[in-house]
Structure 1
Amino acid sequence: MKGRNEESTKALCKLRQLPEDHPFVQAELYGIREQLEREQEAILGVSRWGKIRELLTIPANRYRFMLGFMAQLLGQWSGASAITIYAAEFFGVLGKSGQSEKLFATCILGVVKLVSAYACAFFLVDFIGRRRSLYAGITLQTISVLYIAIFLAIVGTKTLEDGTLTSTQKHAGVGAIAMLYISGVGWTMGWNSFQYLVNAEIWPLRLRALGSSITMCLHFANQYGNTKAVPLMLLHMTSSGFFFFCAAVCILGLIWVWAFVPEMAGRSLESTDELFSLPWYKIGRYGNKLAPDNEAILARDEKAEMKREVEVSQLEQA
């Protein structure tokens, strides 16, 4: 777009871990330049309202918008942000008594989420894929908040406030506190990684600025709403009810991921457009098979070529 072809080539080679003359790199570079030229021609004279109309009227773009919106909605209401913001209060509910003790536990939670966020970003998300990472993170988060909800429902906040716990309940309380930390790890592995990556990967270039801006507005709107709603939820639903609500959102999130979220890792712009051009009910569950990314196509071709070479070798030996 700005004529920095050499820099873009080096960046793509570094990203794909392949040499510049590799067929996959050359094919992807050609596809990117071709799409840039097409999109620059397409947006000439198009106003901002024209882009909004394109975002809302074209089925592929509506599906992209749905992914961004639901990722922010389910991610923010799964409870992780509320647990971080009101961590001291939640540790108090689970039996931590002194103010310094609650603040120390809150600091540890922050460190756990920071370290796990970097670990997931650098070593997990690209290694196992967006979809699997999301599955694993939401499952971990669901188990954690569900354990806390059941613990609070059985023991009761009054018993925890009075400190009249049995030995078994004390051990279960330690487990509940540990589950707060585990829920933080699940959050960084799942929703936290996904909600930013999906915003960067789903939009075509001509709608990326607009689509990303709207999605991030939804992110902060849900975060603000959740922050303001949690005190009222704790008041009317009790602490156990709040955690049951978070568990229900996480389970709903798992169903949504299974039904609607495609794997986006390693996809080129062209294969992404091909993916979202499929019927909406096929994108999440069958998208990777019906619209494979370039790496999958290359791996399949290399495997077929190796198979042909083996067959030829066997025929020559015979």
Structure 2
Amino acid sequence: MGGQPIGPGMFKAAMADTPREALNWRLAFSVICFGLMGAARGLDEGLISTTIAQKSFISEYGLTKGKNLTAAELAQKQGNITAMVQIGSVAGALIAFIACDKIGRIWATRQLCTIWIIGTIVYITANGNYGQILAGRFVMGLGIGQTTVVAPAYLAEIAPRSIRGLCICIFSGAVYLGIMLGYFANWGTSLHISNNSADQWIDATVMHIIFAGIILIMSVFALESPRWLAKIGKDEQAAINMSKLRQLPAEHPYVRAELIDIHDQLEREREATLGSGFFGPLKELFILPSNRYRIMLGLMCQLLGQWSGGNSITIYAPSFFALLGTTGQSEKLFATAIFGVVKLVSSLICAFFLVDFLGRKRALSIGIILQFISMTYIAIYLTAVPAITSGGVRSESAKHAGAGAIVFIYFSGVGWALGWNSIQYLIGAEIFPLRVRSLGTSMIMTFHFVNQYGNSKAVPIMLLKDQMKPQGTFWFFSVVTLLGLAFTYFFLPETAGKSLEGMDELFSLPWHLIGRKGEALTAGSGSVAEAVARGDTEKVAYIEQAEHAEHAGTAPTTQAK
């Protein structure tokens, strides 16, 4: 295994090292329960992007350019409604750190679902009150923002290392399940409910309550994370839960290796601790060089991902389709709904076939290249055919080129789903040590929603003719995707196949080696679980001694390399 890049051979080897019992119904249930939380953010993006294009909503909240609103004021009002969930999500992501650490992953899920439902009720009962609709969407954000911390952290902690990428990417896949359902719901209501009825957008928005309710009920039957239980000193319950999740007896080498790694990492973290309470872990994040690199990595993934244009197109899809020549409300909403299908299928392909099979870096690089080609084509088209943005007459060749631009909108969705959308959740969930995982993930996702808020507010203004214009906006997206490709090559390490506890060795390397050579330099070494997988007899002996020492009250003497 040493030094080989991630690929089909290594993926098959990793799967061969995973007992068949570990891939069971209980693991699948837990992954579905927490993976579905991705639909929270997806539903909001899919619903709000098409809701603000619904005639009933436009009429109810005065979203029409005219005597009362200039183009800039209309863009500002639309941005406020769209972005209010992101503002609430900033606070929600911060709350999630406290909830995850204090009450655990399961109870954190229950309280966020409750907040999510309350916010939705306030939102759909606004009845034309602009202030109430903003308040309701803010409260929704308090719940939705927590999902991006709680769910990926839980999924990373319960997943076997061989399929950790798949399990976490179920969350990002559910984002697109939510987006697709949101798009189709509003398209359907636009066809079958009168444009004069508020039910046109309210009936679709009720899907928020349905999904929150499903997750809330499923959480009653889910198991708490063994790693969180071990962190708070409930070692016996941690062993029981790990045994149930793997469907293996607690004394099985696979289970014992995972538990020993968890306790070893906790012990190392306690020795390296820089204080207790909130400020202790905070200092560890920014004083320890390995953690500083982790924070930098997570923040840059959010920054480059959010401003690559993929998320902007998701939120304002009807506007972009209209910009490229798709006319008529139903046609725009239908094109947007198909866009949701494309993204969902792409995210599932990434989850099941790419992120563990090819590795994180290759999957992300493929996605970024697809985005770059798509954004560049659209930018060139908008620059070459300015008539499309001014409402002028287009030639036949320009119309054909415009059809190509619409196709490239779909390709950009494929690239975003394969690349940044999956990685922005996956990397943050798997790179941090257990002691600071909730805090680190919380900080990264707080930055995620700050960026998303800025993006939601900025893009409608960037598209205005007296600002960057549509062509300038797409040139901007194109440059950011190119920067993202360079960042991926130089700084993003390959983490596929690594145990959570084995990440420490990777991030202990000099900073300039982690991204380019980290996987090769740390292959064949790491955690006890990885040693068991590759048949390292010395570390297997360490497991036996560690277990014996625990019962005898002494320390093991075998040195684990």
Q: Under a length normalisation based on structure 2, what TM-score does the superposition of the two structures give?
A: 0.49
Residue in 1 that maps onto 2:408? 179
Unaligned runs of 5+ in 2: 1-229, 537-561
Q: 1:266 aligns with which of 489, 497, 502?
A: 497
Residue in 2 that maps onto 1:59? 289
- Find out whether 1:280 has 2:511 as its counterpart: yes
Residue in 2 that maps onto 1:5? 239
Q: What is the deviation of 1:159? A: 7.0
| Structure whose residues are more often helix by fraction | 1
Q: Name the CA shift for 1:189/1:13 in 2 (closer, same or farther; >3 Å).
A: farther
Q: In 1, are the aligned partners of 2:304 and 2:484 still within 8 Å (CA)?
A: yes
- Find out whether 1:242 has 2:473 as its counterpart: yes
1:148 partner letter: I
User: What are the Cα deviations for residues 243-293 of structure 1, in whole angstroms up to 9, with x where unaligned?
Assistant: 110010000000000010001112123421011111111100010121226
Higher alpha-carbon deviation: 288-297 or 259-268: 288-297
Q: What is the deviation of 1:169? A: 1.9
1:285 partner letter: R
2:384 partner letter: I
Q: Under a length normalisation based on structure 1, what TM-score does the superposition of the two structures give?
A: 0.85
Residue in 2 that maps onto 1:102? 332
Residue in 2 that maps onto 1:129? 359
Q: In 1, are the aligned partners of 2:361 and 2:488 still within 8 Å (CA)?
A: yes
| 1:82-101 correspondence to structure 2 within 5 Å | 82-101=312-331
Q: How many residue pairs were aligned?
A: 295
Unaligned runs of 5+ in 1: 303-318
Q: In 2, are the aligned partners of 1:136 and 1:186 still within 8 Å (CA)?
A: yes
User: What are the Cα deviations for residues 213-260 of structure 1, in whole angstroms up to 9, with x where unaligned?
Assistant: 111100111000001011221121111111110010000000000010
Aligned-residue Cα RMSD (Å) equals 2.5
Hey, what's the Cα distance between the residues in 1 that align with 2:423 and 2:487?
A: 13
Structure 1 counterpart SS, 2:502 = helix
| 1:37-56 correspondence to structure 2 within 5 Å | 37-39=267-269, 46-56=276-286
Q: 2:438 aligns with which of 209, 216, 221?
A: 209
Higher alpha-carbon deviation: 66-75 or 120-129: 120-129
Structure 2 counterpart SS, 1:127 = coil
Give me the identity figure in percent.
55
Q: What is the deviation of 1:26? A: 5.4
- Find out whether 1:292 has 2:523 as its counterpart: yes
By relative contact order (CA 8 Å, sep 6+), the higher-ranking structure is 1
Hey, what's the Cα distance between the residues in 1 that align with 2:434 and 2:387?
A: 52
Q: 1:221 aligns with which of 432, 450, 455?
A: 450
Structure 1 counterpart SS, 2:509 = coil
Higher alpha-carbon deviation: 250-259 or 45-54: 45-54
Q: Name the CA shift for 1:299/1:38 in 2 (closer, same or farther; >3 Å).
A: closer
Residue in 2 that maps onto 1:153? 383
Q: 1:76 aligns with which of 303, 306, 316?
A: 306
Hey, what's the Cα distance between the residues in 2 that align with 1:292 and 1:179?
A: 39
Q: In 1, are the aligned partners of 2:342 and 2:414 still within 8 Å (CA)?
A: yes
Q: Name the CA shift for 1:169/1:208 in 2 (closer, same or farther; >3 Å).
A: same
Hey, what's the Cα distance between the residues in 2 that align with 1:158 and 1:45?
A: 60
Residue in 2 that maps onto 1:196? 425
